[in-house]
Chains A and B, each alone.
Chain A
């Protein structure tokens, strides 16, 4: 279907089902139950899942295929957000021109930074990209205040000179982002018994865009261009002595992944029209590296899984505080309860980074192929059980 083989089609359909049904899948617990805090099916978080999924899919085109590890991809995310907010301020509240400008601007930045950084490979390339990203971050924070509004961040105001639109709505408030009139924040709530499922317009726009760019990434992986990128990762020497110029291949991959990042930044701003310099900070660049490796670098679906995994942790685990823990262990004798709370507390709430760190170490050590490899091992194990307890004979390879 659509020029893809059976496996890829299945994978695309799987991602389509997951994203379209996310409001149900992420809301398994009734709203009044104790487990409701593990529900992730609210618009803000669901938008983050898919937007960072897009970011990671793009990052994977560079890192997963060519092996060039960029530590500065958040710069393009930031550029995308700033471009989008400026588009809202100057042109219109429609998200389409904003998203287009984000992608184009991020592409231009990626071309400049990539052209210089790709003169080196390995650790030097990583350091160069990190340096450029930190430069962008610091510029956005200080010197470029007229464009970026410094540490406050760029926001909409009541006197924006919006060419195609109004500066203020009739009731004197800032207009909201929309897609040809469909407001991004509009949410339809469906109540089924004790459950409440939320369907948000902004989320579905992001999800459709994710599907489109996921499909594009499948095509890139399977194309001659994708094959050349894998060859760059495998053996640059052989590439050069086979008459192939590696520089334009890596630069094209860098620009494409930068544009994915810009798209993600533009979508972030479209959902919530503000942009801050912290979006470009090195921790944000590191996060997308974590997502890709955790999910499975070089695999198609891995980055999406990694992004969802990390964003879930960041938003759900971080909300478990001391009183929640006490309510969990409340049935136990007092001494035991306090002991358990003290033991668990460092790993949840503000300590969620610790749990994430431990999980990351475990994945890298035991599942170098990331969550995707974990999934493959489980399926292989189930198959071998079905086949009569035979040991799996196939070796694990990244699914592509």
Chain B
């Protein structure tokens, strides 16, 4: 029994069957990659996991509880954090403030009315945010405006923000899309380190085979909205069905 269990999920947009009978089981503390050609339904599947979309049929269970029908913030509070394809951070706020917000969300829950005390008096939050910035090698950038960070740093910040919530499952949507090779390798190293050092499950949607084969313990190949194969990386490489559907075109 995995920490995330997807069973018989269907999602239809008008005449398009985006997801057809998807079954997926993500084991606790593993790195699970979901790959597939464009339009295979990877993003639709991800959106069904975080509450942005509700599947037509099927079930999505996280740690024994259904996530269906819950708002994104409720699913996040259950322990699922999401990293977006384009980094979603608070651009107008400082790096430090960006890091403090998820710390507040972890400590105080979805809503807390603390309108009188100063942010600066929240010592535990400040300590935690500073530690996380140190872990992300961003301590020297704490006063910078988040919007002025480089693409790679924005990605690091977003991952750090997700981690400071101590999630049990971290979902990444093409985390290296549009990155230079050096930034991509840095991100791979960071994710490896996170997976080794922390008690965390990682599910990653990715286009870049280099990233997938460097990180994943297990790979699910999606094609036309249906899982084609699920296996370990070395078996995926040689699988003729996968070659035909996906790797065939890119080598």
Chain A residues at the B interface, C-beta cutoff of 8 Å: 3-5, 219-220, 222-228, 230-231, 233-235, 237-246, 248-249, 252, 256
User: Which one, A219, A238, A241, A246, contacts B116 given CB within 8 A?
Assistant: A219
Nearest Cβ in chain A — how far from B156, in angstroms? 15
Let me know if B117 is at the binding interface, CB within 8 A: yes
User: Which one, B90, B110, B122, contacts A245 given CB within 8 A?
Assistant: B110
In the bound assembly, the distance between CA atoms of A294 and B125 in angstroms comes to 36
User: Which one, B72, B91, B112, B114, contacts A241 given CB within 8 A?
Assistant: B72
Q: Which residues in A have their C-beta under 8 angstroms from that of B84?
A: 237, 241
Taking CB atoms and an 8 Å cut-off, the chain B residues in 98-124 that contact chain A are 100-102, 104-106, 108-122
Q: Which residues in B have their C-beta under 8 angstroms from that of A223?
A: 114-119
In the bound assembly, the distance between CA atoms of A233 and B74 in angstroms comes to 20
**Are A241 and B76 also in contact (CB < 8 A) when A225-B115, A227-B101 are?**
yes
Contact A227 B111 (CB under 8 A): no
In the bound assembly, the distance between CA atoms of A248 and B90 in angstroms comes to 19
Q: Which residues in B have their C-beta under 8 angstroms from that of A238?
A: 88-90, 161
Contact B122 A224 (CB under 8 A): yes
Let me know if B81 is at the binding interface, CB within 8 A: yes
Q: Which residues in B have their C-beta under 8 angstroms from that of A5?
A: 120
Contact B119 A224 (CB under 8 A): yes
In the bound assembly, the distance between CA atoms of A233 and B91 in angstroms comes to 10
Contact B122 A248 (CB under 8 A): no
Contact B115 A226 (CB under 8 A): yes
Which residue in chain B gives the minimum CB-CB distance to A222? B118
B73, B89, B114, B115: most-surrounded residue (chain A CB, <10 A): B115
User: Which one, A224, A242, A256, contacts B165 given CB within 8 A?
Assistant: A242
Which residue in chain B gives the minimum CB-CB distance to A235? B90
Nearest Cβ in chain B — how far from A394, in angstroms? 13
Q: 6 tightest CB-CB pairs across the interface, nearest first? A: A243-B76, A225-B115, A245-B110, A234-B90, A243-B105, A243-B77
Q: Which residues in A have their C-beta under 8 angstroms from that of B101?
A: 227-228, 231, 239, 242, 244
Which residue in chain A gives the minimum CB-CB distance to B79? A243
Contact A222 B73 (CB under 8 A): no
Nearest Cβ in chain A — how far from B143, in angstroms? 12
Let me know if B199 is at the binding interface, CB within 8 A: no
A-B contacts, CB under 8 A, total:
111
Q: Which residues in B have their C-beta under 8 angstroms from that of A224?
A: 104, 108, 112, 114, 117, 119, 122, 125
Q: Which residues in B have their C-beta under 8 angstroms from that of A242?
A: 73, 76, 81, 101-102, 105, 161, 165
Let me know if B205 is at the binding interface, CB within 8 A: no
Chain B residues at the A interface, C-beta cutoff of 8 Å: 50, 71-74, 76-77, 81-82, 84, 88-93, 97, 100-102, 104-106, 108-122, 125, 161, 165
**Are A225 and B114 also in contact (CB < 8 A) when A240-B72, A242-B165 are?**
yes
In the bound assembly, the distance between CA atoms of A121 and B50 in angstroms comes to 22
In the bound assembly, the distance between CA atoms of A249 and B114 in angstroms comes to 11
Contact B111 A237 (CB under 8 A): no
Q: Which residues in B have their C-beta under 8 angstroms from that of A222?
A: 118-120
Which residue in chain B gives the minimum CB-CB distance to A229? B115
Contact B118 A235 (CB under 8 A): no
Contact B105 A220 (CB under 8 A): no
Nearest Cβ in chain A — how far from B61, in angstroms? 19
A-B contact pairs, 17 of them (CB 8 A): A224-B114, A225-B113, A226-B119, A231-B93, A238-B88, A239-B101, A240-B72, A241-B50, A241-B84, A242-B102, A243-B105, A243-B106, A244-B111, A245-B110, A245-B111, A246-B73, A249-B111
**Are A233 and B114 also in contact (CB < 8 A) when A240-B72, A241-B50 are?**
no
Q: Which residues in A have their C-beta under 8 angstroms from that of B73?
A: 239-246
In the bound assembly, the distance between CA atoms of A243 and B89 in angstroms comes to 14
Which residue in chain B gives the minimum CB-CB distance to A233? B92
Which residue in chain B gives the minimum CB-CB distance to A218? B118
Which residue in chain A gives the minimum CB-CB distance to B105? A243
In the bound assembly, the distance between CA atoms of A87 and B81 in angstroms comes to 52
Q: Which residues in A have their C-beta under 8 angstroms from that of B97?
A: 227, 230-231
Nearest Cβ in chain A — how far from B134, in angstroms? 20
Nearest Cβ in chain B — how far from A7, in angstroms? 13
Nearest Cβ in chain B — how far from A2, in angstroms? 11
**Are A227 and B106 also in contact (CB < 8 A) when A243-B73, A252-B113 are?**
no
Contact A241 B82 (CB under 8 A): yes
Q: Which residues in B have their C-beta under 8 angstroms from that of A256?
A: 115
Q: Which residues in A have their C-beta under 8 angstroms from that of B100?
A: 227
Q: Which residues in A have their C-beta under 8 angstroms from that of B125?
A: 224
Nearest Cβ in chain A — how far from B166, in angstroms? 11
In the bound assembly, the distance between CA atoms of A242 and B166 in angstroms comes to 11
Q: Which residues in A have their C-beta under 8 angstroms from that of B91?
A: 234-235
A4, A226, A227, A252: most-surrounded residue (chain B CB, <10 A): A227
Which residue in chain A gives the minimum CB-CB distance to B109? A243
Contact B111 A219 (CB under 8 A): no
A4, A224, A238: most-surrounded residue (chain B CB, <10 A): A224
In the bound assembly, the distance between CA atoms of A246 and B71 in angstroms comes to 11
In the bound assembly, the distance between CA atoms of A123 and B141 in angstroms comes to 35
B100, B109, B116: most-surrounded residue (chain A CB, <10 A): B116
Which residue in chain A gives the minimum CB-CB distance to B164? A242
In the bound assembly, the distance between CA atoms of A246 and B121 in angstroms comes to 23
Which residue in chain B gives the minimum CB-CB distance to A253? B115
Q: Which residues in B have their C-beta under 8 angstroms from that of A243?
A: 73-74, 76-77, 102, 105-106, 109-110, 165
Contact B104 A228 (CB under 8 A): yes
Which residue in chain A gives the minimum CB-CB distance to B112? A224
Q: Which residues in A have their C-beta under 8 angstroms from that of B106?
A: 243
Q: Which residues in B have their C-beta under 8 angstroms from that of A231?
A: 90, 93, 97, 101
A4, A219, A244: most-surrounded residue (chain B CB, <10 A): A244
Q: Which residues in A have their C-beta under 8 angstroms from that of B74?
A: 243
